[in-house]
Homo-oligomer: A and B are copies of this chain.
Amino acid sequence: MAIKVYGSMISTATLRVLVCLAEKDLHFELIYVDLASGEQKKPHILSTNPFGQIPVFEDGDVKLMESRAIMQYIARTYVNKGTDLISNDLKKAAEQSMWMEVESQKFEPATTRLVWELCMKRLLFGEKEDEAVVNELEKKLGCLLDVYEARMTESKYLGGDSFSMADLYHVPVIKFLMGTKTKKLFDARPHVSAWVADILSRPSCLKAFCGCPY
């Protein structure tokens, strides 16, 4: 039975799952959910995601919400397909897991509102960003990227010497921000900048973002 993803190309959470499926070289059906009309609050989404959010994922009788949980399921279930995203070595897996949590607890909170201000407000409502809010958020993101810069003087990727789930978690938000003035924060840090160029040029990213407005 085909994998199904209910989502939208303007949802970073949906794109996170699509990049993961591309890394694992898995076929899937993308079923468009119209956020503008509130389709995510309809029963076919709510039955799997009671919060009324996308993406929703189906793989046979496995039905999941939460993009990061979906990606972990994909990585562990299709372990012999495509890129190895979570190491079998417990110590290496712990290092990857640590930076997956940094994305979840620090990078996501620092960037969600930036993506909203700099991408979504214009795209969905034709509105300009709130400059004071953007400046404040950019300060926080700059501090976070200083830690990333130091990390990547030690290892090529966040989770260690090879590309892993820790890097993958970051792809959609960074791809969106590369089209905004926040790009300067990434460009100003040479190791971060090289890492961004690396992860965004992967075939998985090019494939998943085909058809995306960013």
Contact = CB atoms under 8 A, between A and B. Distances in A.
A102 B105 CA distance: 12
A150 B106 CA distance: 29
B50 A69 contact: no
Interface in A63-105: 64-66, 68-69, 72-73, 76-77, 90-91, 93-94, 97-98, 100-102, 104-105
B106 A151 contact: no
Given A73-B97, A90-B73, A66 B150 contact: no
Q: Tell me the dominant secondary structure on chain A's binding face.
A: helix
B98 A65 contact: yes
**Size range of the chain A interface in the assembly:** 20 to 34
Interface string A110-138: 00000000000000000000000000000
Contacts of A1: none
Given A66-B98, A98-B69, A51 B104 contact: no
Nearest to A96: B69
Contacts of A50: 147, 150-151
Interface string A21-63: 0000000000000000000000000000011000000000010
